[in-house]
């Protein structure tokens, strides 16, 4: 089962390596890990998607809380959350298939960010399931390359 954890950490060199090392040392599987600045220049937010049961998740939370540069750990289990992925994908797009492909991109609310004689590069964001569905629909055209951010998430405010 996938669990989304948010960790507010000090914005210092080595913090990411320290957190990743904790996961590696305990053989926890990370599905995705995203780190970015917050509204406070002293802090960064790590969004970590962990695969495992509730016991694994409990261990992850406890171990993260013990790391000194970690300010706060939040587990999104059972909470209303907004979660999104971002993807850039380059798809084969010969002129004969371009209109059909552009229609598909529009249905998924994607955005063409680059175009060439034989390809289209698309930016698409949304829940992981939407990204996966778009990839499946594009496979018949020929996917040249994919870059994904991994999940970012925040709890919904009441």
pLDDT of 60 reads 83
Residue 45's Cβ-count burial label (10 Å; 0-12, 13-18, 19+) is buried
Q: What is the CATH number of the domain that holds 142?
A: 3.30.70.1150
- Domain C-terminal end among 75, 106, 127: 75
Residues 70 and 88 in one domain: no
* pLDDT given at position 158: 60
pLDDT value at residue 133: 97
- Domain residues for 28? 2-75
Taking only the tens of pLDDT, the chain with its 158 residues reads 788 999 999 999 999 999 988 888 888 889 999 999 999 999 999 999 988 888 888 888 888 888 878 899 988 888 899 999 999 999 999 999 999 999 999 999 999 999 999 999 999 999 999 999 999 999 999 999 999 999 999 988 76
Residue 119: predicted pLDDT: 96
Whether 152 contacts 83, CB under 8 Å = yes
pTM confidence score: 0.83
Which residues, including other chains, have CB under 8 Å from residue 141's CB and lie 6 or more apart?
91, 92, 93, 97, 101
Q: What is the CATH number of the domain that holds 15?
A: 3.30.70.260
pLDDT, residue 114, reads 98
Question: What is the per-residue pLDDT for 56?
Answer: 81
Same domain, 87 and 151: yes
50 and 69 belong to one structural domain: yes
């Amino acid at each position: 089962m996938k669990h989304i954890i948010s960790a507010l950490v000090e914005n210092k060199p080595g913090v990411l390596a320290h957190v990743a090392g904790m996961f590696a040392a305990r053989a926890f599987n990370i599905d995705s890990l995203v780190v970015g600045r917050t509204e406070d220049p002293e802090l960064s937010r790590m969004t970590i998607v962990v695969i495992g049961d509730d016991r694994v998740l409990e261990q992850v939370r406890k171990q993260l809380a013990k790391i000194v540069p970690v300010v706060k750990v939040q587990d999104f289990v059972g909470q209303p959350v907004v979660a999104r992925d971002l993807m850039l994908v380059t798809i084969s797009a010969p002129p004969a298939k371009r209109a059909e492909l552009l229609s598909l991109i529009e249905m998924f609310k994607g955005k063409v960010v680059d175009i060439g004689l034989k390809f289209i590069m698309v930016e698409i964001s949304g829940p992981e399931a939407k990204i996966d569905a778009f990839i499946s629909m594009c496979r018949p055209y020929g996917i040249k390359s994919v870059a994904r951010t991994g999940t970012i998430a925040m709890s919904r405010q009441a």
